[in-house]
């Protein structure tokens, strides 16, 4: 991508991923796991795909079900390249968060071992999240004032829900950020 700041392209990319996901399942019914999207919920009308497809590609904060691992890997690679080129691109960060929000839960409530699909999904999600934190660490080494990266890191680690604050070094430098 030449310029990662074209929001329309990121939105079209999300719509294409959702349409591809809808077509791969055939009926558009949610399989559970990591869903809970705000706009792509009830897709019960699957005759011919018209209304159901529109419901599947409605704007949402996360994919209605987890993206395929290959698709997620390619999206994370694309956004990583865009973010390295333009570290303060809202569109690239937002698309990356949208993709990561579609992961299955990383910490299942009852992890009793035993190698089930749920445990495999949770292990995969933990690996992806660890990679995300590594990327954030690399980017913050380059520019510790990158509030886009700090906000993304807070979302990934779930610190926002626990009420933890940004490190004091960042709070001191926020006033100096030109994009604030």
pLDDT in tens, 73-94: 999 999 999 999 999 999 999 9
Residues 6+ apart with CB under 8 A from 122: 104, 105, 106, 107, 108, 111
pLDDT of residue 79: 94
Rounded Cα distance between 86 and 76, Å, is 15
Nearest CA among 14, 95, 154, 72 for reference residue 86: 95
Give the CA dihedral 7, 8, 14, 16, nearest 10 degrees.
Answer: -150
Measure the CA dihedral 57/58/64/67, to 10°: 40
Q: Percent of the chain, pLDDT > 90?
A: 31
In whole angstroms, what is the distance from residue 31 CA to residue 71 CA? 17
CA distance 15 to 9: 10
pTM of the model: 0.67
d(CA 42, CA 173): 44
pLDDT tens by residue, 119-169: 788 888 888 999 999 999 999 999 999 999 999 999 888 843 443 445 555
């Amino acid at each position: 991508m030449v310029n990662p700041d074209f929001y329309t392209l990121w939105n079209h990319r999300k719509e294409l991923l959702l349409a591809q996901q809808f077509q791969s399942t055939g009926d558009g019914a949610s399989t559970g796991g990591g869903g809970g999207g705000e706009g792509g919920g009830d897709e019960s009308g699957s005759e011919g795909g018209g209304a159901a497809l529109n419901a599947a590609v409605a704007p949402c904060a996360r994919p209605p079900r987890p993206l395929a691992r290959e698709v997620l890997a390619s999206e994370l690679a694309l956004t990583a390249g865009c973010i390295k080129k333009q570290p303060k691109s809202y569109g690239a960060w937002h698309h990356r968060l949208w993709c990561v929000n579609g992961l299955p839960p990383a910490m299942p409530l009852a992890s009793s071992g035993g190698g089930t699909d749920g445990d495999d999904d949770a292990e995969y999600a933990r690996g992806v999240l660890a990679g995300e934190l590594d990327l954030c660490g690399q980017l913050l080494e380059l520019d510790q004032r990158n509030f886009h990266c700090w906000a993304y890191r807070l979302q990934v680690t779930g610190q926002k829900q626990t009420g933890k604050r940004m490190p004091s070094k960042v709070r001191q430098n926020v006033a100096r950020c030109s994009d604030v």
